[in-house]
Each structure stands twice: as C-alpha cells, then as structure tokens.
Amino acid sequence: MAEKILVLDFGGQYNQLIARRVREQRVYAEIIRYDRITPGEIRAAGYRGIIFTGGPNSVYEEESPHYSPEILQLGIPVLGICYGCQLMAWMEEGEIRSAGEVSEYGKVLLHTENSGIFRGLKTDSICWMSHTDYISRTPESFRVIGTTEHCPCAAMADEKRRLYGVQFHPEVTHTELGKEIIRRFLYEICGCTGEWTMASFARTTVEKYRKELAGKKVLCALSGGVDSSVAAVLMHQAIGDDLICVFVDHGLLRKHEAENVEKTFRGHYKMNLICVDAKQRFLKALENVTEPERKRKIIGEEFIRVFEEEGRKIGKVHALVQGTIYPDVIESGLGDAATIKSHHNVGGLPDVIDFDEIIEPLRNLFKDEVRAVGEELGIPHEMVWRQPFPGPGLAVRILGGITEEKIRLTQDADAIFREEAAKAGLEKEISQYFAVLTDTRTVGVMGDARTYGYTVALRAVTTDDFMTADWARIPFEVLEKVSSRITNEVKNVSRVVYDITSKPPATVEWE
C-alpha cells in the first residue's frame, strides 16, 4: 500500500468513523493505539499523514494518554482532532484550561479565516463540538485559524511543518466543512492521490494470494453471510479449485437460502463446494428442546461435529479462510482487553483440521467496504446486502420446541414479510426484519369454521449498531398486506401481531 494514513488512537469514540471518512476519500487508513507504535515505527512505515483522534476529557487527567512530541518532528503532516488537537498544543507547550461553564457540546458556529486549509470555503459554518477543556494559549509556532464563541482556538496551524489541529469533529456529518477539511488534509497537505478503491483492493488481494498460495489447498467454511461469501469468492479468484468450501445446511436457514448458496457458489462461480445436508441431524438434536440457551449450545456443538467429520474426509489443508473484518480486529478504547475475535470465529475447527495458517483476506475492511468488494466481484445483490442473521438461525425465532412444520411455517411467513417489505422499498430503511413463530395458539375463524392456529409476530428494527434499536414505523398498509397474506397463504397461522418494543428493554431476537 503506497498511500496510507495513520489514525493514532487515543481512545475517543469516533476513531473508526475517522478511518472510514479517510477511506471514503479513497485513501487507506489504519487505526493503531497510541501505545502500540513508536515514532521510529511510524517513520519506517511510510505514512503519508497522521490523524490524532479524540480521547479523554483532559490532557491533565492521571490516566490520560500522551505521546512523544518527537512525532511532530518527523516531517509527516498531522491533523489533531479534539483531544488530539489539545494534545498537540500540550506537546508544543501551549496552554490548556478547563472551559468550565462554557464547555461546548453539539452544533456551534465556527468562524474560520479565508486562507490555507480553509481557503475559498465559507468563513461562518456549523461545526460539531464536544469538549470540556480548551486551548487557552496556542503554541508559539502555531497560529489560530478558526474560533467559536467560547473557543479562542477552535482551529490552529503550523503551516511550515504541516501540522493542523481542530477542536471540533470534522468526521461527524453535522460539521458542515468536515468532509472538505479531511479531503484537503489528505490531498493538499499529505499529497495523497486516492488510490484506495475496492476494485484495486480486489485486484491486489487476488494477485497476492495467487502468488503466495500456488498449488496449496485451502479450506473455507461458507455460511452464506456477507463476509464469508466475499472472502470465498476472492480466494476462489486467486486459487480456483484449490479452494474447498464447506457449507453446512442445518435446516434453520431462511426460505431458499441453502439453494441460493449452492446456486451461486457451485452453479455460478463453479466453486469446489461441499454442501452438507445436516437437516435431520440438527432436528434430532433439537427434539423437545425449548430453552433458548440450550438451543444455541446444541447448534454450536453440532455444527463443530459436522465440520469435524468433513474435515477428516478432506485431510490436511494448508490454510483456513476466515471472514474476519476490521471492526473485529481493531482494539478500540483505552484499557480494554484486546477484542480480537478471529479465533472465536473458527470455533472448534483447528482442533480437528490440520492446517498451518489462517487467512483473513478481509481483515482490513469495514463492513461497507466488504459489501463494495462483493458488488465488485458480482456476488448477487441479496447476498451482498443480506441482513444480519443469527448463527443459530430460525431456532431462536421459533419459540419453544422445533419441528419441521414449525420451521416451514416460519420460513413461509418470513418470506412473505421480506417480499412485501422489498416491494414497499423498505429494505434499506429497516436494519433487520423477520417473522417469529410464537408458541401461542389462538382461536380464529375461517369461512364458517373455527380455527386454532399459531400466532406469528413480525419484528422490524432500525439501528446503527444493534446494541440499541428502535421498532420500525412500517406503514400500516404494508403491515395489513403482510398480515392478510400470511393468514391466507400460510396454513395453521390464525393471527399476526407486530412487535412495538425497542431495545432496551427488549432484544432484537425473541430468544
């Protein structure tokens, strides 16, 4: 990677967002914690520029992260954001004080000069602030280039050394000039040319693995989810039939999903794909199990067992492919234990399958970039834009015991809901939506006859991170259509209800 930017992580909450904003400008950015890289390593890595992220409230707090001022002498441009800006001032012996009563939070009017990094931009604009301290005296070599009512140094520059600091958050969309400031820093100050595109990523990744893995057997567990699908297609382009994909159909997928995996990967991409039909086996293991956590555990264990058996048949392989992505890899926030999920993702596989290496072709990509690569590689739209789907599948959407009939009912009701939501153009607005088969039967009437069927619950949420979620305000006409179709077309369902609970207090899934 010729052009890359270092996002030096001081623990602020917007670190990933900063890296994404840089990459949106077609420049590769990587996030590294401040205590995991030395100035010498930064110099050796050849970064075009460095961005200091936000961090704690004050550079004066006991635990506050500091960094050697040497970093400002490397000749590499730096953009300090929020805490990063104050840290820069602190390194250069400026003065930082508590803003007390006049700390700013939210949208604030910013006044900038019409020169340097702000040349040609409007001089009064809105910026997003969130700070309790402020720079009360700018370091000697810097000059103030932006102010707000309560911030005498909202932006500063040492143009000779190409050092810039902004107290506000340019990465947040509320900052009117944010995108332009980041763009100017990357292109005009750091001299980047914008070579990071998903097409170039796909090309170089394929070339790299084609060379590295020539003639070696590689195994990939394909789930049908976005990450493993994109990883598999990339690796297939690199090594063709030396890639063996294994897809386990536990029978708890959505309607037609297993067929689609076969159709896409074996039919369209002509991959070396082993589909294991384990439906009956999972049904048997789940017989009469009603407790949600036990269902999850049984499915997890059974899955590993199926994989073990396939692994034994395949024998030794050189490597395993995993769909780990960047948010799984970055350690964000200070003092947190490393949240590296890679080995968890493999589950129990390494114990039985003999391999030398784990390959993670997507480990530097954000989710939206993985999707863009998927589109680049021609993976079908519905796979690339697939909603999150829990590993235990429909088992946690069928309350109580699981039977073949209940799986079919759930799949049919869910397919109707998805079809109508897509027709109404709601797919991109709603983060996740699905049908749940409750364990409650209620009385209904059909023609002259009394019925006693299941109750289907529809669940639809909007969310950014799935940690909290709001129930989606789906138009009544769409709900009406879905309800009427489900009760008419799916036998044994006599009632449809809509879940209007947010998370918290409810979770997204019902089990």
Q: Is residue 444 close enough to count as binding ligand XMP by CB under 6 A?
A: no
Angle at 122 (CA atoms; ends 120, 127), nearest 5 degrees: 125
Active site residue 318: no
Does residue 503 belong to the site contacting ligand XMP (CB under 6 A)? yes
Q: Closer to ligand XMP at the Cβ: 105 or 466?
A: 466
Helix ranges, 29-80 (H): 39-45
Determine, following the binding rule CB under 6 A, whether residue 292 of this chain makes contact with ligand XMP.
no
Cross-strand pairs, 503 = 469
Exposure pattern of 290-319 as b/e (b: 16+ CB <10 Å)?
Answer: eebeebbebbeebbbebbeebbeeeeebbb
Q: Smallest distance, Å, CB 390 to ligand XMP? A: 3
For 441, other C-beta atoms within 10 Å of its C-beta total 15
CB closer to ligand XMP out of 97 and 297: 297
Stretch that binds ligand XMP, among 5-13, 128-136, 355-363, 389-397 (CB under 6 A): 389-397
| Calpha distance 432→462 (Å, rounded) | 7
Per rule CB under 6 A, is residue 385 in the interface with ligand XMP? no
Nearer to ligand XMP, 380 or 390 (CB): 390
Tell me whether residue 431 or residue 494 sits nearer to ligand XMP (CB atom): 431
Among residues 60 and 466, whose Cβ is nearest to ligand XMP? Answer: 466
Query: Residue 469: what are its φ and ψ, rounded to 5°?
Result: -155, 155
- Catalytic pick from 131, 169, 236, 250? 169
- Binding status of residue 391 toward ligand XMP by CB under 6 A: yes
Q: Is 501 in the site for ligand XMP (CB under 6 A)?
A: no
Dig out the tokens for 382 from the structure. 């519905």
**Contacts to ligand XMP from residues 418-437, by CB under 6 A:** 432
Token code pair at residue 309: 């058996």
Figure out which of the listed residues 54, 146, 392, 453 binds ligand XMP, where binding follows CB under 6 A: 392
Cα dist from 352 to 84, 228, 482, whole Å: 47, 20, 46
Q: Binding of ligand XMP at residue 130 (CB under 6 A)?
A: no
The one-letter amino acid at 492:
N
How far apart are CB 511 and ligand XMP at their closest, in Å?
8
390, 427, 438, 499: which one contacts ligand XMP (CB under 6 A)?
A: 390
Tell me, yes or no, if 169 is annotated catalytic: yes
Binding window for ligand XMP (CB under 6 A); candidates: 45-53, 70-78, 268-276, 500-508:
500-508
Pick the closer one to ligand XMP by CB: 23 or 459: 459
The residue from 3, 82, 85, 310 that is catalytic is: 82
Binders of ligand XMP in range 450-469 (CB under 6 A): 466
Q: With binding defined as CB under 6 A, does residue 367 bind ligand XMP?
A: no
Q: Could you give the angle at which helices 367-376 and 226-239 cross, rounded to 10 degrees?
A: 50
Contact residue for ligand XMP among 296, 363, 408, 485 (CB under 6 A):
296
**Cβ contact 328:341 at 8 Å:** yes
* Largest Cα span, the chain: 89
In b/e form, how buried is each residue of 211-236, taking b as 16+ CB within 10 angstroms? eebeeebbbbbbbbbbbbbbbbbbbb
Q: Is 388 in the site for ligand XMP (CB under 6 A)?
A: yes
111 binds ligand XMP (CB under 6 A): no
CA 455/CA 184 separation, integer angstroms: 57
Distance of alpha carbon 399 from the chain centroid: 29
d(CA 352, CA 346): 11
Given the rule CB under 6 A, which residues bind ligand XMP?
Answer: 296, 388, 390-392, 432, 466, 503, 507-509
Residues annotated as catalytic (active site), given as ranges? 82, 169, 171
